[in-house]
Structures are given as C-alpha cells and as structure tokens.
Structure 1
Amino acid sequence: MTQALSKHRHISFTAHYTGYIWYQMGISHPLLATSKGKTLAMIAHPIESWGEKYVGGSMRTTLKERHTMLNDRLRQLIEQHPNLQVLEIAAGLSPRGWWFRQHYPMIDYRELDLPDMANIKQTALKQIDANSPEVLSVDLFTDDFQKAFEVFDPSRPLVVISEGLINYFTKELLQQLIQSIAYYGKDFQSLHYLTDLYPEPVKNKLAKVIWSSSKLLKVMSRSAFSFHFVTPEQVRNFMQQAGFSKVQVVQPSLYFKKDKVELNPEEHLGDLVWMINASL
C-alpha cells in the first residue's frame, strides 16, 4: 500500500549540517556524520567563528544550547519515570536516540522521519548496533502519524521530542502538528512534548541579518521557515490552545546563567533559541 504524502516532506540540508556539528562536538557517532554535512560545516566555519568572536554566539553554539537543554530535561523525565517511552519526530541524524538507548536501555526509544532520511538513519544505526529498533517512517501531516503512537504502550508515559523542526511550518500547520501530538497522546499514562523553538530575534543586534538569513533558509529548504513568537506568554497560549495544559518556556540566558543579574523570564532575553516543555 502506498503511503499518503503531504506537500511538507522535503528533507532539509540542515539535517546533514547539524548531524556533522554534533559529531564535531564529540557527542555523536561517526556513522551519523555525512560527507555532505562535513562540506556544509566547512563552508559555514568562518562565519560561525566570526559570530562567536564578535557577536557572542553562532548557529553551532545555538545547536549546543538547545541539544543540552532538551537532553537534560529528557534525563530528568527518565529519572522520574524509569519505564518512559520516547518518540523523536523528524529525528534526522540526531545522536539522541543512539545515546539514550546506550545509557538507558530500559526505556523504549523510537525515532521517526520521512522515508529517505529514515532509510539513511536506519542504515547507519544498524551498522552501529544490529539490534537497533526500526526507524519509523510516516508523514506528520497525514493520518499515518497516528500509527507512530500505536507502537507504544498507553499504560506507560510517553515523551514526544523534536529538535530543529517546528519553525519550518506555518503557524497553522504548527498548530495542526501540536494538536495531533496532544490528541494521539491523550490516552497515555502521561504525555510530554519537548521541543526547541526559534523566537523572533527582536532583541539581537543582528536581527536584520538573521531575518534575511531566514528568508534564504526558507527558499533553500523549500519550507515555510519563519519566526512566530516574540514572548514566552505567546508560546504558552499557543501550546495551550493546541491542547497542552502545562507549558514551560526555557531561555538559555536563564538556564545557563552564571552572574547575579536579575532577568525577567517573561521577557524575550535575546536568545536565538528557546526550549518548550509541555505536558498533559
């Protein structure tokens, strides 16, 4: 039977780039780093280094922040629920599933992506560990998405996690995705959704440059990449309207805070990326 397809199924070149950056950071397996990713990382390196020196941050430092915050929260949830189940959507070449299956073998961790990327990931994981579970392949915007939830036990808690995904959709499609996660996950013992989100870069001194870059990314990735939110309150309201009762917005400026300067968690603190911790 042919899988129903939506028009929102393009693999972004960013999956290769992020996969290689994670490998460079020493947190991934070499088989999850592609030659295409290496080329992209080499091209971006001078710009990234300039940003880190003169602006105080770059795309790769942002990747590290979001990856660290998501992993930290997932570890906390595993400590609270040793029988946790995890579904990572649009998993790409992320090392998260491989790493967590190694360190927490008691959890059921499954990854999901579109067919082409799922095949690439499946091949790499099987070379690393022949017992790696099958990478699921469904389209998030068709009814097939429900099938991904059916492989899990509803009597146990479930975490759905995504990274580098939700800014690629229009606000309407994003609402559809989050509503689907809340609806398909409502019968589980508990449901958590962890994701990163790029807010509008209104507090960043390079806001105009970032906006221009986002337009280029939108064209190159054949997506609807955009910034949808300015304040944490806007994010909470949006997530709650989509079905999640509890929503926490975590900003790196507070999460990695090293000084004693008081910061208002309800303000946009200038970070390029936030983490969203939502639950039912």
Structure 2
Amino acid sequence: MSEQQLSKHRHISFTAHYTGYIWYQMGISHPLLATSKGKTLAMIAHPIESWGEKYVGGSMRTTLKERHTMLDERLKQLIAQSPDLQVLEIAAGLSPRGWWFRQHYPTIDYRELDLPDMAKTKQTALKQIDAHSPDVLSVDLFTADFQKAFEVFDTHRPLVVISEGLINYFNKDLLQQLIQSIAHYGKDFKALHYLTDLYPEPVKNKLAKVIWNSSKLLKVMSRSAFSFHFVRPEEARNFIQQAGFSTVKVIQPRLYFQQNTTDLNPEEHLGDLVWMIDAQL
C-alpha cells in the first residue's frame, strides 16, 4: 500500500464500523471483522432499529440484510456462469464478502480495495484469519491510481466490480465519474459487470421526512455529499447507461423477495429503501 495522491472525497468513516458489526450480528461475518466501535454504534441504534421493524416494517439493519443478500446471490449466479470469474470489491470496508467467497469459491480471484487506513485495518484482520489472504488494494477512486486496481487482473477473464453502501455518498457528478471510470478501465475484459446497491428517494416510505432529515445528519457526520439521486428505476438505469454501461437492471426487494408480484410495476418506485443495480458492459 504505497503513498499516493488522495482526493478530497475520502471521508467515509463510522458507517463501515456499524455495517461491519451488523453483518457479524447476522452471523455472516468473522469476529475479527467486527470492531468495538461498531458494537457501540449498533447498541446505540438498537432501540430505534427495533422500533422501526415493529411499527414501520423495516429498519436500517433489515435494509442491510436485503442489499447484502441480493448482491451475494447475484455474485453466486455469475460465478456459476463463469467459474474463472474475477472480483474487485471497491470501498470494501469491513464487509465479510471477500473472506466468505474466497473460502467457498477458491477458483475465483477476489480482491478488495479501500482507502489507506481502512485497507490497513482490513488487511490486518484478514491476515489473522488466513495468512494467505491477498493484500487489500489501496487507491483513491477519484484519482488516476484507480486504474492500477484493474491492472492486477487478467483481461482474458470476466471481471465483476462490486460496491455496497458507497455510491449515495457522492454527488451526481462524482457518481458519474466513478461509473465512467469503471466502464472505461473494465472495457477490455472478457466481460464486465458492476453490482451495487443504491438508495432511491424514500418517497413512498411512512417515515420519508425522518429519513430525509437523517440523511442530512449522515452527510455532516461522514463529511460526504450523501444524497438520494433517483425516484424511478428508469432514472437510475438511464444515468448508468449514460456513464458507459450497455445493459442495466434495477432490482427492487419487493419484486425480488416476494412470490406474488404480478400486480407490481417494476418501473415504479415500490417503496423499498434500497435497490440493487446490475450493470453489464
């Protein structure tokens, strides 16, 4: 993890600790990927989360489970199609995904990437779990160094770039830049997918106003441009296609997890707090 130029868009902080601990609580992570800071944050949030699950029908932690499940299941499908798949998880934080997939799919090449401090923290934990874990890559997504992350992979094999809990932290210009970079640096691979979650505007949620106000607080606390950019699936699809991806699917949890969905319009915002994006080049 060498010294490099760092952009000003690098202050995503406590959320990685919180989500890391929630995944551990769900039984899908390793104890070494759960921090004391994450435990404290989870304890503070627990009463609010429980209230939301009881009276509103969902909470941040249920949303985390939905997005993580959808991304994991889609990645498993892509591995089944291409056993020689390569994966680059950007802003990997304390996610257990790389550790879990390397254990269960040893034929794939799975690398993780984050900013220097988090990359060092993650690598220390992974090396204690498995001394043969690959080094965590450390580059800033908004500098030319991002291209170096793609250079560690074989262009003759398909590549999946995956992110979780990331893209709402950027304004639309930066988000466009990020997706354009992924499409550009990945264009020479045998195939390229970008899998990510995305938080749409909570226009159909009972607590829309509360969520909006909470997002403003998160914006300040994380020193980021956290925002909701899209209301309808078509808006997100068009935006990502304009950034360079030819095929873009927007998957909403209500359609994904429910069996009787014939009366639901996939082109309408169905009220979920999070969507999954599957973009292909």
Measure, in 2, the Cα distance between the counterparts of 1:259 and 1:231. Answer: 21
Match of 1:112, SS state, is strand
CA distances 1:3-46 after superposition (whole Å, capped 9, x unpaired): 11100111320100000000000000000000000000000000
Measure, in 2, the Cα distance between the counterparts of 1:12 and 1:177. Answer: 19
Given the alignment of the two structures, is residue 29 of structure 1 paired with residue 30 of structure 2, yes or no?
yes
Given the alignment of the two structures, is residue 111 of structure 1 paired with residue 107 of structure 2, yes or no?
no
Counterpart for residue 174 of structure 2: 173
* CA contact 2:250–2:276 (8 Å) conserved in 1: yes
Measure, in 2, the Cα distance between the counterparts of 1:45 and 1:257. Answer: 26
Measure, in 2, the Cα distance between the counterparts of 1:61 and 1:98. Answer: 22
* CA contact 2:255–2:261 (8 Å) conserved in 1: no
State the Cα distance separating 1:260 from its structure 2 match.
Answer: 5.3
State the Cα distance separating 1:261 from its structure 2 match.
Answer: 5.5
Given the alignment of the two structures, is residue 269 of structure 1 paired with residue 270 of structure 2, yes or no?
yes
Superposition pairs of residues 91-170 of structure 1, within 5 angstroms: 91-170=92-171
Given the alignment of the two structures, is residue 72 of structure 1 paired with residue 50 of structure 2, yes or no?
no
Measure, in 1, the Cα distance between the counterparts of 2:14 and 2:93. Answer: 10
Measure, in 2, the Cα distance between the counterparts of 1:261 and 1:104. Answer: 35
Match of 2:250, SS state, is strand
CA distances 1:148-202 after superposition (whole Å, capped 9, x unpaired): 0000000000000000000000000000000000000000000000000000000
Flag structure 2 segments of 5+ consecutive residues without an equivalent. none
Match of 2:255, SS state, is helix
Given the alignment of the two structures, is residue 239 of structure 1 paired with residue 268 of structure 2, yes or no?
no
CA distances 1:105-148 after superposition (whole Å, capped 9, x unpaired): 00000000000000000000000000000000000000000000
Note the aligned Cα RMSD (angstroms): 0.8
State the Cα distance separating 1:243 from its structure 2 match.
Answer: 0.1
State the Cα distance separating 1:213 from its structure 2 match.
Answer: 0.2
Off by >2 Å, runs of 4+ in structure 1: 258-261
Q: TM-score, normalised by structure 2?
A: 0.99
* CA contact 1:11–1:117 (8 Å) conserved in 2: no
Measure, in 1, the Cα distance between the counterparts of 2:72 and 2:214. Answer: 27
Match of 1:233, SS state, is helix
Superposition pairs of residues 7-18 of structure 1, within 5 angstroms: 7-18=8-19
Measure, in 2, the Cα distance between the counterparts of 1:210 and 1:259. Answer: 28
* CA contact 1:252–1:274 (8 Å) conserved in 2: yes
Q: TM-score, normalised by structure 1?
A: 0.99
Counterpart for residue 63 of structure 1: 64
Counterpart for residue 257 of structure 1: 258
Query: What is the number of residues matched between the two proteins?
Result: 280
Match of 2:235, SS state, is helix
Measure, in 2, the Cα distance between the counterparts of 1:11 and 1:64. Answer: 20
* CA contact 1:166–1:174 (8 Å) conserved in 2: yes
Given the alignment of the two structures, is residue 213 of structure 1 paired with residue 214 of structure 2, yes or no?
yes
Of 260-269 and 95-104, more deviation after overlay is shown by: 260-269
Flag structure 1 segments of 5+ consecutive residues without an equivalent. none
Counterpart for residue 47 of structure 2: 46
Measure, in 1, the Cα distance between the counterparts of 2:92 and 2:175. Answer: 17
Counterpart for residue 83 of structure 2: 82
Match of 1:216, SS state, is helix
Letter in 2 for 1:133: P
